[in-house]
Amino acid sequence: MRNRVVNLVIALMAVVVVAGAGERVLLEGVLVRVNDRIVTVSEFADRVQEELNQVPQTPTGEELHQFVDMLLNEVVNELILMERATEKRLDVNEEMVDQAIANLREENNLQDDQEWEQALISSGLTIDMLRERYRRTILLQRTVQGEVRPVEVTEEELRREYEEKKSRYLVPAKVELEQVFIPVDDGDASRAQAERTALGMVSRVRDGADLKAEATLAGVQLQELGEIPTDDCRADLVQALEGLDDGAITDPLPVSGGFQVIRLVRRIPEGYQPFEEVMPELRRQRSAESYESQTRGLVEKLRNEYLVEVHDEYLDLVFARFGTT
């Protein structure tokens, strides 16, 4: 009896007869059906709009079509997994949603209620929409977790993958630098004085004086610039550093607002990020790839077991809402 009622509702939703005319015009339809679960054209269009609100730049033309197609496939997969969740009698309690939202606020430093409300408005979400998103996500995760086996990867396998993809972990040549910046006030006299100060500092340091002490006497600070890829350095800086040994300083470099004296702390040759640093990332990637692969396999298996209908011919109604066809 229940299936007959559902089928009747689906049939009635497919077309609407325009009052005062005999013409049958499609205004609404069932876009996706998984067993007794359905998503209508208008429901999917609302979901498209919700997702578009989350992207920095709204796609148009072919990009919009690709975006909608990808989202349609995602919705189908969601319905399949939700049907599986019902079979397994899984549910999500509100405490789980509360905790997820609390974590979101903490991670984004949005403990202030006013800032939190503004962040929701900026993202085009209401608190109810956000809660529904988390409720759906948590339910889908719980559904998959019981059917996906964690992947076991040995260090040897990860090391082999590291060697195969080693070019990804190339670290360019760098220079570690410190600087003393001597500012210039308005006027030629100030600039000339700043240049004399810089030249005197360079001369004394090259004779053995301490650069940090010289900076303090000049009323400025010795600043760490850190490690900078050589290719990112200014052309004049590259030229000034050429031939310098580690620990040596450049001649004063005229820059906007003053003069710069640079100390080359050390040169760091081109190399590769060590395997020990990369290993956790490789392990996470393997785990994520296995999770996604097993999830796709589960969805495909269930797709063959369930009644799954996708009426993508109704997508024109969705695109019409966004002013495209």
Per-residue pLDDT reduced to its tens digit, 260-304: 999 999 999 999 999 999 999 999 999 999 999 999 999 999 999
Q: Tell me if 33 sits within 8 A of 41, measured CB to CB.
A: no
151 DSSP assignment = P
Q: What is residue 175's three-state secondary structure?
A: strand
For residue 128, how many other CB atoms are within 10 A of its CB? 8
Q: Provide the pLDDT for residue 31.
A: 93
Q: Provide the pLDDT for residue 12.
A: 39
Q: Which residues pair with 263 in a beta bridge?
A: 178, 249
* Chain segment 138-192, per-residue pLDDT in tens: 999 999 988 888 888 899 999 999 999 999 999 999 999 999 999 988 766 788 8
Q: What H or E segment, with its residue span, contains residue 254?
A: strand 253-255
Q: Tell me if 224 sits within 8 A of 193, measured CB to CB.
A: no
89 DSSP assignment = T
* CA-to-CA separations, 113 to 101, 110, 125, 132, in angstroms, rounded: 13, 7, 15, 20
Burial level of 146, CB count in 10 A (0-12/13-18/19+)? exposed
Token pair listed for 157: 């396998």
Q: Provide the pLDDT for residue 189.
A: 74
* Chain segment 56-89, per-residue pLDDT in tens: 888 888 899 999 999 999 999 999 999 999 999 9
Reply yes or no on whether the pLDDT at 5 is more than 80. no
232 DSSP assignment = G
* Chain segment 200-233, per-residue pLDDT in tens: 999 999 999 999 999 999 999 999 999 999 999 9
Q: Which residues pair with 309 in a beta bridge?
A: 33
Q: What is residue 102's three-state secondary structure?
A: helix
Nearest CA among 319, 316, 300 for reference residue 308 = 300
Q: Provide the pLDDT for residue 246.
A: 95
Q: Provide the pLDDT for residue 29.
A: 86
Q: Provide the pLDDT for residue 20.
A: 44
* Chain segment 101-148, per-residue pLDDT in tens: 999 999 988 888 889 898 888 888 889 988 998 999 999 999 998 888
Write the CB contacts of 279 (distance below 8 Å, at least 6 apart in sequence).
155, 158, 159, 162
Q: Provide the pLDDT for residue 148.
A: 85
Cα–Cα dist 85/140, whole Å? 8
Domains of the chain plus CATH, in order, are 2-150+309-321 (1.10.4030.10), 173-269 (3.10.50.40)
149 DSSP assignment = P
Q: Tell me if 32 sits within 8 A of 38, measured CB to CB.
A: yes
* CA-to-CA separations, 25 to 16, 28, 46, 159, in angstroms, rounded: 6, 9, 21, 62
Q: Provide the pLDDT for residue 17.
A: 40
